[in-house]
Amino acid sequence: MRQINEHVLHGHHIAASAATWLIALREGAGLSEAQLADRLGVSAEWVSETESEPDVRVATVATYVAALGGELQFRCLLPGSIPLDLTEMPAGVPTPDRAARAV
């Protein structure tokens, strides 16, 4: 039997926690599933299913935060280095807004 890598386990724990954050964010904003669904242009069922997903995509978390009027930011902490802000993509990496400007 293959032993599970501790880094993989940690990553899965962080991802699983994201679903809990989605519920807390929505409830903290005083919104029902139906109200958030209306803002996102999806069904309340989709919101419910997403909030119970064990592995939520970063794009989904960013979409939730944006629908609540916020902005998702990322930071990376590597041993022996200063924190790296991952919110802004390096130049040349395609992002939706860069793609729209290129058209």
Please give the model's pTM, rounded to 2 decimal places. Answer: 0.63
Q: Tens digits of per-residue pLDDT, 39-65?
A: 999 999 999 999 988 778 888 888 989
More confident residue, 53 or 92: 53
- What is the arithmetic mean of pLDDT over 27-50? 95
Where are the chain's structural domains?
6-102
- What is the arithmetic mean of pLDDT over 94-101? 50
Instruction: Please tell me the CATH code under which domain 6-102 is placed.
Output: 1.10.260.40
Residue 62 CB partners (closer than 8 Å, separation 6+) = 72
In 3D space, the residue among 64, 73, 21 whose CA is nearest the CA of residue 41 turns out to be 64
Rounded to a whole number, what is the distance in angstroms from the first to the last CA of the chain? 51
**What pLDDT score does 102 carry?**
42
- What is the arithmetic mean of pLDDT over 61-81? 86
- Give residue for tokens 């940690």: 10
d(CA 43, CA 26): 15
